[in-house]
């Protein structure tokens, strides 16, 4: 029995500006916090930077042609804020805007629907110099930048994503410091979380105010939490993990505020959320869809000795090079959970994919069989969740091509197109052929 996805289901791929564009000094682009971070010693594996990345800035047309050849129906990309507003606010850089203008036109000319992410972690350095996400004004600057993009591209772009994975850029950027801007401070993390969510709400309001047609939502990072054993204590720990990881970023968007458990934890550490009257209403501005990113599951154990009350239990499944467990069932499981928890919102899977570092064989072919197996598993689970009632309308595979994997530099490959980072040659992998076939059939064998 073939597994067929619903009529009108869209198949796409996703990328992000700093991970693929390169050309960081060109056409008056301003610096972002990732340019700065990559220049600091020992921050990025092998001292890699996004200076060239996939050189997509110069090869955009070739890349769009490749997308068309693969049969993509939609493409999710992000705009580098500092390309269009080199200082984050104020003077607009028309050359930077022109790049995205041409990208959108190239996509539409090939019948590929653009899905535009406004923020995929590359805050303009000038705004970091003013305090970055710890500065409440950043939320307003973000809404102004968003309004500029609605104005310039809103006649052609009808799918907008405000923030990509606020949990990652707030906690990894401000608490553990392994991502830009490399801060380690819980008080700053609390501010960054709240101001990021405020920025999301303000950008949604600005979209409604722009009069543009189309839809807007947020993309969160997710993991499917599973209990390490079947005791009631562990079941409670799983709910706490969901509070800190999922409900912290979904709850306020759906009008439920931040989880009490999380607010109490931050207060107990003298790191309160700086919530002003009216903020939670702003953050709850109605959205049109929920963007779901998911790569794996996490096993959870109770840990009463810790402030949060839970910890990650050791993995039991085989690991991928990123350290994630191979857990293809996690996508369907998480989608079922989030769909039930928030009243069956319209969902786009804005990222799902596999780190598989397979290199070309002697014939030049890239047989990334681990990626192929896991992708099929993820899609089977997703199909099951849809059959159970989740309203999933699109799937964006991460990623179109191997790219700059943040603190891991170029050492981790997520692409269905292989990138030779010396020659910048693009070679579709076996998984790309498989994905094309899934798109063509709108499904696969069970």
**Residue ranges that bind ligand BGC, judged by CB under 6 A:** 16, 19, 164-165, 168, 221, 293, 351, 398, 405, 414
- Which CB, 16 or 198, lies closer to ligand BGC? 16
Spatial neighbors of 313 by CB under 8 A, at least 6 apart, are: 228, 299, 300, 301
**Please, is 44 exposed, middle or buried when counting C-beta atoms within 10 Å of its C-beta (0-12, 13-18, 19+)?**
buried
What secondary structure letter does DSSP report for 319? B
126 or 164: CB nearest ligand BGC: 164
Q: Which residue, 34 or 142, has its beta carbon nearer to ligand BGC?
A: 34
CA-nearest of 171, 164, 231 to 203 is 164
| Minimal distance, residue 299 CB to ligand BGC, in Å | 19
C-beta neighbour count of 389 within 10 angstroms:
10
Q: Which of 443, 444, 437 is nearest to 70 (CA)?
A: 437
Q: Which residues pair with 2 in a beta bridge?
A: 445
> Which tokens belong to 6?
């619903």
To the nearest 10°, report the CA torsion of 33, 177, 168, 131.
Answer: -50
Q: Cβ 162 to ligand BGC, closest distance in Å?
A: 14
Minimum distance of ligand BGC from residue 155's CB (angstroms): 27
- State yes or no: is 281 an active-site residue: no
Q: Measured in whole angstroms, how far is the alpha carbon of residue 250 from the centre of its chain?
A: 14
Smaller CB distance to ligand BGC: residue 16 or 54? 16
Least Å distance, CB 403 to ligand BGC, is 7
Please list, residue by residue across 347-357, b when 16 or more beta carbons sit within 10 angstroms of its beta carbon and e when fewer do: bbbbbbbbbbe
Q: Coil, strand or helix: which one is 299?
A: strand
With CA atoms as reference, report the closest residue to 104 among 114, 95, 119, 90: 114
**Closer CB to ligand BGC, residue 31 or residue 221?**
221
Residue 351 Cβ vs ligand BGC, minimum distance, rounded to whole Å: 6
304 vs 60: CA distance, rounded Å: 51
For the bound state, the minimum distance from the C-beta of residue 288 to ligand BGC, rounded and expressed in Å, comes to 20
Residue with token string 């293809």: 328
In the set 165, 226, 325, 405, the catalytic residue is: 165
With respect to ligand BGC, which residue has the nearer C-beta, 273 or 406? 406
Q: Between residues 308 and 411, which has the closer beta carbon with respect to ligand BGC? A: 411
Least Cβ distance, residue 410 to ligand BGC (angstroms): 12
- Cβ-based neighbours of 211, under 8 Å, separated by 6 or more: none
Task: Pick between residue 365 and residue 407 the one whose CB is nearest to ligand BGC.
Answer: 407
**Which of 14, 8, 7 shows the shortest CA–CA distance to 396?**
14
Min dist CB 57 to ligand BGC, Å, is 17
- Longest Cα–Cα distance of the chain, Å, equals 63
Other residues' Cβ atoms within 10 Å of the Cβ of residue 236: 15
351 tagged catalytic: yes
How many Cβ atoms sit within 10 Å of the Cβ of residue 326? 17
Q: Which is nearer to ligand BGC, 15 or 282 (CB)?
A: 15
DSSP 341-355: HTTS-EEEEEEE---
Task: Kindly report the number of other CB atoms within 10 A of residue 137's CB atom.
Answer: 12
**Identified catalytic residue from 21, 226, 325, 351:** 351
- Buried b / exposed e along 163-174 (16+ C-beta atoms within 10 A): bbbbbbbbbbbb
- Catalytic residue IDs: 165, 351
């Amino acid at each position: 029995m073939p597994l067929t996805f619903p009529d009108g289901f869209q198949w796409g791929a996703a990328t992000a500006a700093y991970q693929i564009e390169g050309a960081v000094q060109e056409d008056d682009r301003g610096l972002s916090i990732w340019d700065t971070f990559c220049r600091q010693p020992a921050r990025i594996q092998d001292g890699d930077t996004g200076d060239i990345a996939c050189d997509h800035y110069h090869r955009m047309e070739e890349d769009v042609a490749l997308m068309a050849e693969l049969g993509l129906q939609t493409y999710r990309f992000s705009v580098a804020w500092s390309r269009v507003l080199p200082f984050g606010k104020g003077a607009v850089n028309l050359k930077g805007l022109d790049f995205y203008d041409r990208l959108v036109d190239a996509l539409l000319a090939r019948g590929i629907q653009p899905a535009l992410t406004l923020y995929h972690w590359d805050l303009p350095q000038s705004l970091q110099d003013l305090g970055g996400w710890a500065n409440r004004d950043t939320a307003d600057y973000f809404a102004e930048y968003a309004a500029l993009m609605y104005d310039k591209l809103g006649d052609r772009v009808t799918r907008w994503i405000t923030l990509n994975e606020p949990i990652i850029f707030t906690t990894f950027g401000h608490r553990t410091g392994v991502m830009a801007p490399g801060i380690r401070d819980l008080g700053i993390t609390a501010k960054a979380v709240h101001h990021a969510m405020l920025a999301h709400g303000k950008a949604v309001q600005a979209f409604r105010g722009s009069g543009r047609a189309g839809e807007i939502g947020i993309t969160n990072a997710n993991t499917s939490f599973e209990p390490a054993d079947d005791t009631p204590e562990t079941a409670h720990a799983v709910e706490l993990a969901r509070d800190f990881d999922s409900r912290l970023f979904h709850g306020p968007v759906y009008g439920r505020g931040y989880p009490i458990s999380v607010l109490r934890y931050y207060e107990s550490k003298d790191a309160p959320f700086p919530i002003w009257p009216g903020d939670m209403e702003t953050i709850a501005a109605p959205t049109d869809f929920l963007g779901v990113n998911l790569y794996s599951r996490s096993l959870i154990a109770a840990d009463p000795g810790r402030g949060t009350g839970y910890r990650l239990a050791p993995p039991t499944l085989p690991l991928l090079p990123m350290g994630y467990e191979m857990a293809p069932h996690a996508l369907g499981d998480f989608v079922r959970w989030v769909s039930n928890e928030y009243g069956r919102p319209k969902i786009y899977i804005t990222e799902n994919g596999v780190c598989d570092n397979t290199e070309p064989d002697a014939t030049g072919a890239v047989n990334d069989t681990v990626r192929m197996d896991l992708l099929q598993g993820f899609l089977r689970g997703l199909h099951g969740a849809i059959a159970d009632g989740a309203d999933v309308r699109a799937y964006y595979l991460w990623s179109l091509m191997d790219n700059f994997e943040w603190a891991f530099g170029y050492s981790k490959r997520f692409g269905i197109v292989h990138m030779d980072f010396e020659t910048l040659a693009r070679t579709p992998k076996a998984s790309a052929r498989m994905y094309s076939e899934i798109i063509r059939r709108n499904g696969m064998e069970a």
